[in-house]
């Protein structure tokens, strides 16, 4: 919940974690491009790519997007 602690329900202004931030089409598109590269390099299968792209466009938060690329190497991106 925006501005609330997840454990006690008390309001704390600015208490939104990075992973809970809302994202837009720019961020979704960046993840899709990263997934396209992973597919080209053979790091994920076509089925995984299709599933992750669908999830990327349905994502609402940064945390949801991060989960889609968590198993891909960071150093090449």
Q: Is 8 within a domain?
A: no
In the predicted model, what is the mean pLDDT of the chain?
Answer: 86
Q: Is 5 within a domain?
A: no
Q: Is 40 within a domain?
A: yes
Per 3-state DSSP, what percentage of the chain is helix, strand, and coil (rounded to 5)? 50, 5, 45
Instruction: Judge whether residue 48 has pLDDT over 50.
Output: yes
Q: Is 61 within a domain?
A: yes
Q: Is 48 within a domain?
A: yes
Q: Is 4 within a domain?
A: no
What spatial distance separates the first Cα and last Cα of the chain, rounded to whole Å?
Answer: 31
Instruction: Judge whether residue 44 has pLDDT over 50.
Output: yes
* pTM of the shown model: 0.76
Q: Is 32 within a domain?
A: yes
pLDDT-based confidence at 64, cuts 50/70/90?
very high
pLDDT at position 8, please? Answer: 59
Q: Which domain holds residue 53?
A: 21-68
pLDDT at position 14, please? Answer: 65
Q: Is 63 within a domain?
A: yes
pLDDT at position 1, please? Answer: 45
């Amino acid at each position: 919940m925006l501005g609330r602690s997840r454990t006690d329900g008390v309001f704390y202004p600015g208490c939104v974690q990075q992973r809970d931030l809302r994202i837009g089409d720019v961020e979704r598109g960046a993840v899709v491009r990263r997934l396209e590269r992973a597919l080209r390099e053979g790091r994920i299968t076509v089925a995984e790519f299709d599933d992750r792209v669908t999830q990327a466009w349905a994502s609402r938060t940064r945390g949801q997007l991060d989960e889609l690329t968590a198993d891909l190497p960071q150093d090449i991106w």
